[in-house]
Amino acid sequence: MAKVVEKVVMPLEVEVSIKDNDAFIKLQSLAKELSEAADIVLTEDQLNMVEVDWNEKVSEEGKINIDGSDYITLAELRRLARLRGYISSKPRVIQVPEYENHRQTTVEWEIIWRDGTIDGAAADASWRTCNPGFRNFTVAIASNRAEARAIRAALGIETCSLEEVGPDDEDLSGPASDQQKGAIPMLVNRYKFTSEQMCDLFGDELATKVIDGDGLNLNGLTHTEAAKMLAAINKYKPAKKKKEK
């Protein structure tokens, strides 16, 4: 007959300090296996009794200095995440890029670690916050930013990742972008705005500037004015049609 052993909670009697992270992971794994084999319940504090300063684990190859500021690469963050050990690390797209939302993408990243804890973070990307060569790939950029942010938050990495940094601020007093010039006419046609409605939405001065007969002339439009028009259109709510009895 098998001997019945009652489950007990072992008191934490010894403080352990291990600088080598690989040894910490092996110790943590061994502690879990031991608890299962001996039918002993270890507290969460006991399984996580070794604190690791992950900032000290960042390699020199994983750092980049740009104009005097240090950044950490996503590849380095992934290396650190693998060292800690995770079961799952995946994104979830919250918002897809469309003309109506200025092509903004929102992605949430979730990490399930080997010890059962879950961490996550969200990040945005739009054509304005991406470097010119990547503006057609906002989902990928948002995913990278969310992943980097989730890992940094979980491991307590203080250095900002390179992926989270957008381009330098653009001159908003300059001309409207091609994306803005493409979105405005499309939305105006979709909602079939009349000249009177556009005056109400954009204000008389701005509406008069862009209305050209039966169409629109956006050649003299500034970036700020175009952004104002798009924001007004986004707030517009068409009146619901009454159902005929």
User: What is the pLDDT confidence band of residue 243, given thresholds at 50, 70 and 90?
Assistant: low
200 domain-assigned: yes
Residue 11 lies in a domain: no
In tens, the pLDDT along 10-21 reads 333 333 444 455
Residues 6+ apart with CB under 8 A from 114: 29, 84, 85, 86, 87
User: What is the C-alpha separation between 72 and 126, in angstroms, rounded?
Assistant: 22
Domain boundary among the residues 164, 191, 225 is at 164
In whole angstroms, give the CA distance from residue 71 to residue 61: 11
Predicted confidence (pLDDT) per residue in 30-47, tens digit: 666 655 554 444 455 444
Greatest alpha-carbon pair distance for the chain in Å reads: 95
- Higher pLDDT, residue 34 or 85: 85
Of 116, 142, 164, which residue constitutes the final position of a domain? 164
Decide if pLDDT at 27 tops 50.
yes
User: Is the per-residue pLDDT at 135 higher than 90?
Assistant: no
High-pLDDT (> 70) share of the chain, %: 73
Cα–Cα distances (Å) from 237 to 90, 95, 139, 206, in that order, read: 35, 20, 27, 20
Question: Is the pLDDT reported for residue 9 higher than 80?
Answer: no
- Per the structure, the complete domain to which residue 70 belongs is given by 54-164
Number of domains in the chain: 3
Stretch 187-196: mean pLDDT, rounded? Answer: 88
Cα distances (Å, whole numbers) of residue 42 to 30, 31, 51, 68, 121:
12, 8, 17, 46, 29
Q: What is the pLDDT of residue 168?
A: 61
Residues 64 and 28 reside in one and the same domain: no
Q: How confident is the model at residue 184 (pLDDT cuts 50, 70, 90)?
A: confident
62 vs 145: CA distance, rounded Å: 16
- Domain membership of residue 172 (yes or no) is no
pLDDT digits (tens, 9 = 90+) for 87-104: 999 999 999 888 777 778
Could you tell me if residue 6 is inside a domain? no
Q: How confident is the model at residue 112 (pLDDT cuts 50, 70, 90)?
A: very high
pLDDT tens digit sequence for 44-77: 544 453 468 899 999 999 998 887 889 999 999 9
Is pLDDT at 147 greater than 90 in this prediction? yes
9 in a structural domain: no
Residue 128 predicted with pLDDT over 70: yes
The answer to whether residue 2 sits within a structural domain is no
Give helix 195-202 / helix 223-235 axis angle, nearest 10°: 110
CA atoms of 76 and 79, how far apart (whole Å): 5
Classify residue 33: in a domain, yes or no: yes
Q: What is the pLDDT of residue 60?
A: 92
Q: How far apart are CA 103 and CA 98, in angstroms?
A: 5
Do 110 and 143 share a domain, yes or no?
A: yes
As given in the structure block, the two tokens for residue 244 are: 């005929």
- Position 3 in a domain: no
pTM score, whole prediction: 0.54
